[in-house]
């Protein structure tokens, strides 16, 4: 956890967000990341996502079973989902999303939006009916050699 917190603190001096994360497998760091959202103009460049990308590259896989993530702050909903998609075994965090809210980050707003009906959200979500909407899934299901997520 100390390394994740150090990365977060150091990142502030580089004009990145105050977030850092590391991924550990078998007691060794296999991935590191810091929040680079304002640095590279990428709203998905959160510390956890960057650490996942780094670990996946270093381990040559998109599944991180057997890994743990240490992050300076409770993961936002996007990072939470990314951790699940990566199949990481356990999450350790220091500050929580209320601490992030007090520092001016809008994690709390997104947590609230997840509980709101789609038609009442700040950003409207609308399903469009299309004759081909199932075509990609049909093609996927027809594959004999598909890679399971």
Cβ atoms of 83 and 62 within 8 Å: the answer is no
**Residue from 48, 68, 98, 138 carrying the catalytic annotation:** 48
Task: Reply yes or no on whether 48 is catalytic.
Answer: yes
Catalytic residues, by residue number, are 48
């Amino acid at each position: 956890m100390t390394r994740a917190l150090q990365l977060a603190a150091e990142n502030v001096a580089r004009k990145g967000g105050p977030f850092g994360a590391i991924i550990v497998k078998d007691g060794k760091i296999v991935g590191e990341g810091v929040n680079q959202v304002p640095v590279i103009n990428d709203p998905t460049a959160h510390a956890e996502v960057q650490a996942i990308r780094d670990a996946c590259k270093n381990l040559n896989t998109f599944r991180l079973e057997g890994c743990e993530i240490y992050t300076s702050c409770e993961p936002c909903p996007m990072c939470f989902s990314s951790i699940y998609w990566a199949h990481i075994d356990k999450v350790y965090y220091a500050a929580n999303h209320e601490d992030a809210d007090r520092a001016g980050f809008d994690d709390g707003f997104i947590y609230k939006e997840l509980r709101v009906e789609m038609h009442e959200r700040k950003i409207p979500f609308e399903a469009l009916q299309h004759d081909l909407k199932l075509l990609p899934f049909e093609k996927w299901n027809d594959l004999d050699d598909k890679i399971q997520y």
